[in-house]
Amino acid sequence: MEYIQPYLDFFTQNPGWAIAIVFLIAFGEALLIIGLFVPSTAVLVGAGMLVGTGHLEFWPVFAATAIGAILGDQLSYWAGRLFGERLKTLWPLNRYPVLVARGEDFVRKHGGKSIAIGRFVPGVKAVVPGIVGMFGMGQVYFAVINVSSGLFWALAHVAPGMLFGQVLAMAGELSERLLIVLLVLLVLLAVAGWLIRLFIGGLGPIIERGQDRFAAWAERQPGRFWPRIGAVISPAHPGSLSIILFAALAVTALIAFLHIMSSVFGQSALINTDLSIHNMMQSLRNAPADEIMTMVTMLGDGAVMGTVGIAIVLWLVWRREWRIAGAAFVTILAARLFVPLMKLWLQRPRPVELTGLPEIFSFPSGHTTFATVTLGVFAVLVTHGLRSWGKAVVFAAVGIVVIAIAYSRIYLGAHWMSDVLGGFLFGAAMIAAFGIAIEAVPSRRLQPIGLSIAVLLAFLAAGTIHINRDYTANAEMYSPREAIVLYDQEQWETGAWAGLSRRRIDLAGRNEEKFAAQWAGDLSPLSEALAKDGWTEQGKWSWTLGLAYLDPNRSLADLAPRPALHRGRAAEFTWTKPVAGDANQRLVLRAWKTDVMIGKGDKTYPIYVASLMRERLRHDLNLYAVPSAVVPQPAELESFASLLRSIPGVRIVAVRGLEAKDGLTLVDAMQ
């Protein structure tokens, strides 16, 4: 968080710079052709996130976004009115004749609505305002639609960012390292989305212009060979652009995969990069993110991806698309056979030893490969016959899922970064080959909506069942590996207790909260004593309980205690007790299991550290309610110490007056 905070502080102290950046991005996104290359969505949603986290005000950001978008479209409209048809011969429109022609068709089809609709359609939105001006649309009519759609477009970008910002603010309130993990994932997704948009919207027209030139050249050549090649490459062929892009992707991905494989096999500098990224990710490990990433990685398990692959093939068989069904089956099966064979050949060990996985070797990542190939086959089939912007939307959605699964593998320590890159590149090459085979045939009706519904239902059903049934085993398998320290009872009582943390260490490294006790043995006697004293057991915190934090009208009694972590671990148990006379405050007792065990006779017992804190209800911007920690009163600490002394069958170990000095009580409950 210390790397991000200076930027947040800068924008908080200098909001004018942030507003200026937002205005320029929105303005540039609306300019003719230039808007193809402006990462507007990522920047504007990011500005909305700063609004949600309280670092920027809503109205200035919203106004800058709307005004920039409206003025950019207005300037493009004036260019069309001023130059008329001559606009198409001027730079930069003369470099994109295919895109201009597509924009003209779009305007003729939708009329005045094209201004509003076009704002949300990749590619054509960069030319629509100029084209409607070129066609002679009246200024007043354009201004009405431009202003109204500009306001809606601005809200559509800022509002989701505000929601993400609120989620990140809550994540930061609960765990700063969780916030960093989520921010890294969001940045990866935003960059991937912008690159896909740039590739489809920016490079697509350039490739189409090259197709025109090549087709014209080939048509003038003698014989039949070059004219036939030109006919396939020509933009008139419905699948020509897709074939070219898939071919380029296949060659590039295959070369990159071979390079990574040789780097891994040859022990190049890539190994050091892998180790650095692995260490960085392991330093960010924390309980909430572990839970999220475990569920994400389980969505890439063979049980889920296999179900999705079967659903795709069965759908094609049901539609009597025998050849396509066979191609899909062979592509998915080839990936599943290739990965274990490659792992057996290279025999690269995983970053950490994970018991329970069917494969002990790591290169390439099976989860990344299977997710890329299976979901890529689905994307190719669904987008068969769609225009470029439709393909971009589908592939971006699939890319988000694949990137999230790949990211989870690195975070959980199951794979090195190069394992994930290798799996993604090999999968991309397989998908490109499959895409060439599909696009080479005439476009046919595969009922993309029906296929999408079938695949989505299979994915959700398999994922839900798999997570509900096997989450506990997977959480244990992917849990951080830490060494266990074993002491005997005498060692612990005479000084080993001091080796344990005497304060709770949160994920930011702060240690402001003191522990009230060290407990050796089973916690059942403590639970029984707390229940008799009016305390209520809360159980372990989960994200479903955290959803209640989004309701600012909730009372403290309706909210689960905040998930305070110690060294990245969640509390083993949590108990609460209302504070007399104040409904907005309560006492919270938590206990964390340490990595220390005590041997007594032929048995071993765990050591727990317990803290006693107050919580009060906190409202921020009246948008959510989160319990906030408060230091307890001395009388409350003494009352807890008295409760410990009253528990039958346990022994209070007084060490060098420590109990009176720091309020720390050593409890021997080893039976």
Q: Which residue has the higher pLDDT, 483 or 222?
A: 222
pLDDT value, residue 156: 81
Over range 655-666, report the average pLDDT.
60
Task: Name the one residue in this structure whose structure tokens are 């299976």.
Answer: 374
Q: Which residue has the higher pLDDT, 485 or 309?
A: 309
Distance of CA 294 to the CA centre of its chain: 13
State the average pLDDT for the chain: 77
CA-CA-CA-CA torsion sign (261, 262, 264, 269): negative
Please state the φ and ψ torsions of residue 427, each to the nearest 5 degrees. Answer: -60, -40
Q: Tell me the CB-side half-sphere exposure of residue 218, using CA atoms within 13 A.
A: 17
Over range 252-278, report the average pLDDT.
75
Give kind and range of the element (H or E) at residue 472.
helix 448-477
pLDDT value, residue 254: 84
3-state secondary structure of 598: strand
CB neighbour list of residue 178: distance below 8 Å, 6 or more residues apart: 171, 172, 286, 288, 289, 507
171-174 contacts at long range (C-beta below 8 A, 24 or more positions apart): 171/288, 172/1, 172/53, 173/562, 173/626, 174/288, 174/546, 174/562, 174/563, 174/626
CB atoms within 10 A of CB 483: 5
Contact 607, 597 (CB under 8 A): yes
Q: Which residue has the higher pLDDT, 399 or 164?
A: 399
pLDDT value, residue 660: 46
Over range 390-400, report the average pLDDT.
79
pLDDT value, residue 620: 58
Q: For the chain, give every residue range classified as CATH 1.20.144.
A: 238-477
Query: Is the predicted pLDDT of residue 223 greater than 90, yes or no?
Result: no
- Mean pLDDT lowest for which of 153-157, 314-318, 352-356, 365-369? 352-356
Query: Is the predicted pLDDT of residue 297 greater than 90, yes or no?
Result: yes
Q: For residue 124, name the pLDDT band (cuts at 50, 70, 90).
A: low
Over range 347-375, report the average pLDDT.
82
Q: What is the C-alpha to C-alpha distance for residues 573 and 529, in angstroms, rounded to an integer? A: 14
CATH of domain 238-477: 1.20.144
Strand partners of residue 241: none
Over range 103-132, report the average pLDDT.
74
pLDDT value, residue 531: 92
Q: Which residue has the higher pLDDT, 642 or 245?
A: 642
Strand partners of residue 573: 591
Contact 433, 250 (CB under 8 A): yes
pLDDT value, residue 483: 57
Per-residue DSSP letter, 593 = E
Q: Which residue has the higher pLDDT, 346 or 190?
A: 346
pLDDT value, residue 500: 83
490 burial class (0-12, 13-18, 19+ CB within 10 angstroms)? exposed
Query: Is the predicted pLDDT of residue 238 greater than 80, yes or no?
Result: no
CA-CA-CA-CA torsion sign (563, 568, 571, 577): negative
pLDDT value, residue 194: 56
Contact 516, 610 (CB under 8 A): yes
pLDDT value, residue 3: 41
pLDDT value, residue 4: 44
- Supply angle C-alpha 105, 110, 113, rounded to 5: 135
Q: Which residue has the higher pLDDT, 195 or 51?
A: 51
Distance of CA 426 to the CA centre of its chain: 22
For 262, 344, 420, the CA distances from 348, given in Å and listed in that order, are: 12, 8, 13
Residue type, 359: E
pLDDT value, residue 201: 52
Query: Is the predicted pLDDT of residue 550 greater than 80, yes or no?
Result: no
Q: What is the C-alpha to C-alpha distance for residues 219 and 237, in angstroms, rounded to an integer? A: 14
For 190, 208, 222, 371, 395, the CA distances from 403, given in Å and listed in that order, are: 11, 29, 48, 9, 12
Q: Which residue has the higher pLDDT, 142 or 464?
A: 464
Query: Is the predicted pLDDT of residue 307 greater than 90, yes or no?
Result: yes
pLDDT value, residue 138: 81
Residue-wise pLDDT for 400-438, tens only, equals 899 899 989 988 888 888 899 899 999 989 988 888 877
Helix then strand then coil, in percent of the chain rounded to 5, is 65, 10, 25
Strand partners of residue 293: none
Query: Is the predicted pLDDT of residue 178 greater than 70, yes or no?
Result: no
- Mean pLDDT lowest for which of 4-8, 462-466, 653-657, 660-664? 4-8
Contact 240, 234 (CB under 8 A): yes
Over range 578-586, report the average pLDDT.
87
Query: Is the predicted pLDDT of residue 328 greater than 50, yes or no?
Result: yes
Query: Is the predicted pLDDT of residue 539 greater than 80, yes or no?
Result: no
Q: For residue 346, name the pLDDT band (cuts at 50, 70, 90).
A: confident
Strand partners of residue 592: 609
CB neighbour list of residue 131: distance below 8 Å, 6 or more residues apart: 80, 100, 103, 104, 107
Q: Which residue has the higher pLDDT, 562 or 621?
A: 562
Residue-wise pLDDT for 128-177, tens only, equals 787 888 877 888 888 888 888 888 888 887 777 676 666 655 555 444 44
For 522, 561, 571, 617, 641, the CA distances from 527, given in Å and listed in that order, are: 10, 17, 14, 25, 15
Over range 605-612, report the average pLDDT.
90
Contact 363, 261 (CB under 8 A): yes
Contact 532, 643 (CB under 8 A): no
Q: For residue 1, name the pLDDT band (cuts at 50, 70, 90).
A: very low
CB atoms within 10 A of CB 216: 11
Query: Is the predicted pLDDT of residue 525 greater than 70, yes or no?
Result: yes
Q: Which residue has the higher pLDDT, 535 or 244?
A: 535
Q: Which residue has the higher pLDDT, 463 or 663?
A: 463
Q: What is the C-alpha to C-alpha distance for residues 441 and 242, in angstroms, rounded to an integer? A: 12
- Nearest CA to 261 out of 373, 341, 143 is that of 341
Q: For residue 2, name the pLDDT band (cuts at 50, 70, 90).
A: very low
Q: What is the C-alpha to C-alpha distance for residues 584 and 557, in angstroms, rounded to an integer? A: 8
Percentage of residues in the chain with pLDDT exceeding 70? 72
Q: What is the C-alpha to C-alpha distance for residues 149 and 118, in angstroms, rounded to an integer? A: 10
Residue-wise pLDDT for 66-96, tens only, equals 888 888 888 888 888 887 777 777 776 666 6
Contact 517, 665 (CB under 8 A): yes
Q: For residue 481, name the pLDDT band (cuts at 50, 70, 90).
A: low
Query: Is the predicted pLDDT of residue 451 greater than 70, yes or no?
Result: yes
Whether the link from the prior residue into 97 is cis, omega within 30° of 0, is no
- Nearest CA to 420 out of 279, 291, 260, 268 is that of 260
Greatest mean pLDDT among 9-23, 127-141, 224-238 lies in: 127-141
